[in-house]
Amino acid sequence: MSESSWLAEVSWAEGNVFLGTDLSGHTVVYDSAEGVQKGIGPMRALLTSLGACTGMDIVAILKKRKQNLKSLKILLSGGRPEHGLPKPWTSIHIKYVLSGDSLETKFVEEAIRDSTDKFCSVGATLAPTAKITHSYEIV
């Protein structure tokens, strides 16, 4: 593969800091959990990627269902083995906190189910090693 055919690039900046860049030039700063943290840790980045992926699905589905979504916050927690290496996510819980004018529970539940069961590729990637659960709250 030539350098121009790659989808992403990660470059070492300093210490444990790396810069991840996609083809459009968008950059994410990664760092370890040690010392002064200049970026997000790679394993937590997986959680934020999961949240963004499923969030995009839910926004699109609720818009299609003509639901007036005003805000969506996605809280993620997870468990990893205490001992041994590697330490993949073995459990992940996603909590969706939604607000909007007259959001219908049936459409919220449908959006979450469709995202988690059918559409979110990040969730599908993590599912073989992590039990992914979810809950939601309409505020």
CATH number at residue 87: 3.30.300.20
Asked whether the predicted pLDDT for residue 23 surpasses 90, the reply is: yes
Co-location of 32 and 89 in the same domain:
no
* 90-108 tens-digit pLDDT: 999 999 999 999 999 999 9
Co-location of 49 and 110 in the same domain:
yes
Co-location of 35 and 87 in the same domain:
no
Asked whether the predicted pLDDT for residue 126 surpasses 70, the reply is: yes
CB 103 within 8 A of CB 74: no
Co-location of 31 and 52 in the same domain:
no
Which is higher by pLDDT, 76 or 32?
76
* 64-88 tens-digit pLDDT: 999 999 999 999 999 999 999 999 9
CB 96 within 8 A of CB 56: no
pLDDT confidence of residue 40 = 96
Co-location of 112 and 48 in the same domain:
yes
Say which residues have a Cβ less than 8 Å from residue 71's Cβ, sequence separation at least 6: 97, 98, 99, 100
pTM of the full predicted structure?
A: 0.93
Co-location of 50 and 115 in the same domain:
yes
Co-location of 11 and 58 in the same domain:
no
Which domain range does residue 91 map to?
Answer: 42-138
Co-location of 1 and 64 in the same domain:
no
Q: How many domains does the chain have?
A: 2
| Length of the chain in terms of residues written | 139
CB 19 within 8 A of CB 11: yes
Say which residues have a Cβ less than 8 Å from residue 121's Cβ, sequence separation at least 6: 53
Co-location of 32 and 8 in the same domain:
yes
